């Protein structure tokens, strides 16, 4: 644990530290840092204990959508992941139910402000920003709402280069840099009003949208609503799933890539989609051991180039396996997995356990579409973009927002431009799933040439755009085709500029140079773990595209130049027999992923399905077997779904239990959705404002006795 003091990609810009206190213990924090990050950096994972069974509580979503990280700040309950640390702040754990603050008089209510606007955009991620740019370019006024302190959405967390089209969606550029670029464009637009630290609460029947802006509640009356709220991570039910140390990829990337907190020492990943694979790569960049990755399907569902990149870094990948349990008393100490059969049932005798302190869950995403559904129900013109419309890559979200921005401008009569046909075609390509996987032929020997180690059809073309000789070709009409080197066909020679090596998002291009020695050629390999990790004269293990060991070779040069955008180029001298097969350098020793001598068996089997109210799988099964088919009845009888997350986490697992019990979902009445997206202080709805102008302070000179921005009653 602790802080990341040197990152190969993210710049260290912390400011001057100050002290807060947790249970009287001094804790170091930094300006703009959330309380949860400061606590994690200090090695504190348990923020309190649940009132029902005393179970330890800690960070889970790191996105303000649950209350697992609830703490007391000056006796007021707040979410640690959404509340910035401030000098002198007194933080205490929440052990049991927090008490309501005492008041000695009824506060005076105030008026609720209403704002009319042509367009309200919910979400400041890639889709929302791209839409705002299109609207602003056509003079359309809009309010862009985001609940974080900066624009960017998940781009803020993405240190890797993006796939897609280099001309359409900045392919070959890192997500963090794309986020800054789009944010700058939005902030330069006079017609776009950006509301940060603002949470959309609900769409109401009068077609107004409730926004909690800081501590002030505002009703926004838009002519058109654009929902670009992204996606939320799916929950997974297994034994020990609520132990501190079990959380999603978003929470992990927030701690590691945004706040530069070393969130784990030994990480185990559940889920082989792009989110899980990329999170593993981010962990390695942060100096965290990745013990292994487990995927239930026979093959990882993410891009093969992501899977291969992780494997050749030295991470064991277990396909056709599932997690059985996270083990430990007050925090994760190990994880147990097992092979599964074709019906996804664990096979007895195949159990293995691995020592780890963190289990990262990355088993898919669901669109955040509550606002879209409500708007349609109340006949408010609504568009959706990005993951809120369809789960895809961030590059697809950028283009989705671009298209929806133009559609809204047309809807409002601000332009008569048609959606260009190439926009639609590009959008379709960017949203496409991975295509065919094909074996690549070894390239013919030449004095110097690039070698492509990608073998799956995915939308990606940066390498074609940077070659000064025009020697790399991808079908212009379909960038999902794999690149080909056309040196011989064009009668030209590679000049060894290495641009294709540095720009490749999958780190899947190397350069073989036989000009000085055809027996022991030089191989240039992309490396994103810092220039100080390797030096000339070191011996390194080199692996092929899928992670198989080829041998040990000497490093002859380590190049780190600004033009490489933080990608280091490592040159090794290798025998001709393996030179063209070298795709990467092992960065993690094999012993890191070795299992424990014996599998750990977790004795208790009261698996939690509702984290907020600590309702077990057994309780829900009993109600289903008793004949209950209405989730609302189950909610009333068990409290499942009545917690702070508003049933966002447990809804899908409860429906899964119905299926497991043999009940067709058409026989099940689903739960009534929570009217509000997050908890809200009642004082905010009453328009209560202190002399200082903030909601929730009842008396002059007295600290707020209500809940803060996104915190409140459950």
pLDDT tens for each residue of 44-64: 999 999 999 999 999 999 998
Nearest-CA neighbor of 326 among 349, 302, 294, 365? 294
What integer pLDDT is reported at residue 702 of this predicted model? 32
Residues 538 and 642 in one domain: no
Using CB atoms within 10 Å of the CB of residue 41, give its burial: 0 to 12 exposed, 13 to 18 middle, 19+ buried: buried
Residues 585 and 642 in one domain: no
pTM of the model: 0.93
CA distances from 120 to 294, 329, 379 (A): 41, 46, 15
Distance in angstroms (rounded) separating the CA atoms of residues 358 and 346: 22
Is the predicted pLDDT of residue 86 greater than 80, yes or no? Answer: yes
* pLDDT single digits (tens) 280-289: 999 999 999 9
- Flag whether 87 is in a domain: no
What percentage of the chain carries pLDDT values higher than 70? Answer: 96
- Flag whether 440 is in a domain: no
- Flag whether 51 is in a domain: no
Residues 463 and 417 in one domain: no
Cβ count near 531 (within 10 Å): 17
Mean residue pLDDT across the chain: 91
- Flag whether 63 is in a domain: no
- β-strand 142-145 against 113-122: which pairing, if any? parallel
- Flag whether 21 is in a domain: no
Residues 425 and 542 in one domain: no
Is the predicted pLDDT of residue 630 greater than 70, yes or no? Answer: yes
Which has the minimum average pLDDT: 220-234, 333-347, 695-709?
695-709
Is the predicted pLDDT of residue 590 greater than 50, yes or no? Answer: yes
* pLDDT single digits (tens) 90-109: 999 999 888 777 778 887 88
- β-strand 289-295 against 266-270: which pairing, if any? parallel
Under 8 Å between Cβ of 377 and 398: no
What integer pLDDT is reported at residue 603 of this predicted model? 65
Please state the rounded mean pLDDT for residues 230-256: 94
Residues 141 and 215 in one domain: yes
Could you give the number of structural domains in the chain?
3
- Flag whether 41 is in a domain: no
Confidence of residue 602 (pLDDT cuts 50, 70, 90): confident
Residues 465 and 580 in one domain: yes
What integer pLDDT is reported at residue 108 of this predicted model? 82
Tokens of 29: 């924090």
Residues 392 and 521 in one domain: no
What integer pLDDT is reported at residue 3 of this predicted model? 95
Please state the rounded mean pLDDT for residues 167-179: 93
What percentage of the chain carries pLDDT values higher than 90? Answer: 82
Where a domain ends, among 546, 565, 593?
Answer: 593
Distance in angstroms (rounded) separating the CA atoms of residues 160 and 145: 26
Residues 397 and 471 in one domain: no
* pLDDT single digits (tens) 305-356: 999 999 999 999 999 999 999 999 899 999 999 999 999 999 999 999 999 9
CATH number at residue 625: 1.10.10
* pLDDT single digits (tens) 473-513: 998 889 999 999 998 788 889 999 999 999 999 999 999 99
Query: Sign of dihedral through CA atoms 639, 370, 271, 592?
Result: negative
Please state the rounded mean pLDDT for residues 100-123: 88
The residue with tokens 């291969």 is 308
Residues 506 and 427 in one domain: no
Task: Give the residue numbers spanning the domain of 188.
Answer: 113-231+368-431
Residues 211 and 175 in one domain: yes
Distance in angstroms (rounded) separating the CA atoms of residues 89 and 701: 17
In order, the DSSP letters of 371-425 are HHHHHHHTT--EEE-GGGTS---HHHHHHHHHHHHHHHHHHTTS--PPPPHHHHH
Is the predicted pLDDT of residue 696 greater than 50, yes or no? Answer: no
Which has the minimum average pLDDT: 89-103, 182-196, 620-634, 693-707?
693-707
What integer pLDDT is reported at residue 697 of this predicted model? 36
Residues 651 and 556 in one domain: no
- Flag whether 25 is in a domain: no
What integer pLDDT is reported at residue 604 of this predicted model? 62
- Flag whether 185 is in a domain: yes
CATH number at residue 134: 3.50.50.60
Residues 406 and 454 in one domain: no
Confidence of residue 300 (pLDDT cuts 50, 70, 90): very high
């Amino acid at each position: 644990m602790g802080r990341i003091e040197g990152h190969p990609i993210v710049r260290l810009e912390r400011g001057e530290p100050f002290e807060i206190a947790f249970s009287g213990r001094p804790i170091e924090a930094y300006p703009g840092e959330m309380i949860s990050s400061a606590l994690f950096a200090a090695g504190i994972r348990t923020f309190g204990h649940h009132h029902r069974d005393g179970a330890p509580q800690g960070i889970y979503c790191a996105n303000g959508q649950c209350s697992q990280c609830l703490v007391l700040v000056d006796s007021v309950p707040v979410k640690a992941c959404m509340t910035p640390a401030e000098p002198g702040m007194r933080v205490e754990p929440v052990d049991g139910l927090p008490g309501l603050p005492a008041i000695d008089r009824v506060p005076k209510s105030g008026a609720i402000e209403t704002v009319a606007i042509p367009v309200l955009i919910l979400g400041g991620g890639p889709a929302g920003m791209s839409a705002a740019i299109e609207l602003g370019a056509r003079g359309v006024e809009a309010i862009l709402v985001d609940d974080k302190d900066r624009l960017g959405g998940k781009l803020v967390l993405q240190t890797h280069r993006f796939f897609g089209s280099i001309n359409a969606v900045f392919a070959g550029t890192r997500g963090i840099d794309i986020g800054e670029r789009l944010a700058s464009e939005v902030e330069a637009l006079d017609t776009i009003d950006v509301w940060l630290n603002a949470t959309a609460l609900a769409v109401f029947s009068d077609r107004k949208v409730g926004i909690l802006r800081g501590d002030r509640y505002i009703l926004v009356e838009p002519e058109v609503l654009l929902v670009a709220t992204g996606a939320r991570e799916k929950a997974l039910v297994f034994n020990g799933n609520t132990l501190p140390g079990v959380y999603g990829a978003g929470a992990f990337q927030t701690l590691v890539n945004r706040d530069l907190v070393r969130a784990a020492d030994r990480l185990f990943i559940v889920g082989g989609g792009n989110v899980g694979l990329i999170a593993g790569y981010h962990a390695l960049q942060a100096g965290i051991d990745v013990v292994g990755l487990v995927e239930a399907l026979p093959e990882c569902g993410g891009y093969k180039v992501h899977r291969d990149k992780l494997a050749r870094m030295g991470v064991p990948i277990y396909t056709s396996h599932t997690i059985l349990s996270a083990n430990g008393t007050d925090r994760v100490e190990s994880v147990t997995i097992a092979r599964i059969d074709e019906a996804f049932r664990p096979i007895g005798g195949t159990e293995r356990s691995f020592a780890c302190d963190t289990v990262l869950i990355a088993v898919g995403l669901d669109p955040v579409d509550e606002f879209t559904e409500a708007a349609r129900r109340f006949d408010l013109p609504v568009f959706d973009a990005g993951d809120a419309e369809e789960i895809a890559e961030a590059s697809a979200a950028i283009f989705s927002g671009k298209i929806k921005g133009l559609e809204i401008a047309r809807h409002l009569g601000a332009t008569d431009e048609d959606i260009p046909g190439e926009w639609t075609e590009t959008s379709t390509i960017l949203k496409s799933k991975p295509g065919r996987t094909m074996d690549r032929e070894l390239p013919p020997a030449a004095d110097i040439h690039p070698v492509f180690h990608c073998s799956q059809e995915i939308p990606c073309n940066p390498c074609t755009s940077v070659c000064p000789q025009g020697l790399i070709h991808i079908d212009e009409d379909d960038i999902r085709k794999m690149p080909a080197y056309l040196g011989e066909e064009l009668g030209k020679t590679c000049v060894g500029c290495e641009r294709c090596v540095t720009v490749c998002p999958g780190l899947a291009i190397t350069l073989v140079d036989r000009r000085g020695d055809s027996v022991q050629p030089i191989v240039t390999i992309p490396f994103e773990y810092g220039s100080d990790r390797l030096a000339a004269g070191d011996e390194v293990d080199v692996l092929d595209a899928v992670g198989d060991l080829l041998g040990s070779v000497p490093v002859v040069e380590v190049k780190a130049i600004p033009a490489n955008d933080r990608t280091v180029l490592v040159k090794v001298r290798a025998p001709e027999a393996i030179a063209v097969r070298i795709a990467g350098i092992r960065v993690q020793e094999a012993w890191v992923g070795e299992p424990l001598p014996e599998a750990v068996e977790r004795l208790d089997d009261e698996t939690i399905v509702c984290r907020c109210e600590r309702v077990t799988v057994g309780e829900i099964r009993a109600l289903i077997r008793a004949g209950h088919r209405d989730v609302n009845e189950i909610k009333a009888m068990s409290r499942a779904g009545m917690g702070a997350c508003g049933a966002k986490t447990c809804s899908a697992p409860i429906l899964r239990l119905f299926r497991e019990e043999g009940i067709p979902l058409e026989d099940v009445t689903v739960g009534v959705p929570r009217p509000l997206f997050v908890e809200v202080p009642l004082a905010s709805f009453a328009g209560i404002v202190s002399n200082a102008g903030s909601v929730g302070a009842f008396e002059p000179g007295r600290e707020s006795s209500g809940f803060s921005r996104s915190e409140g009653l459950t």
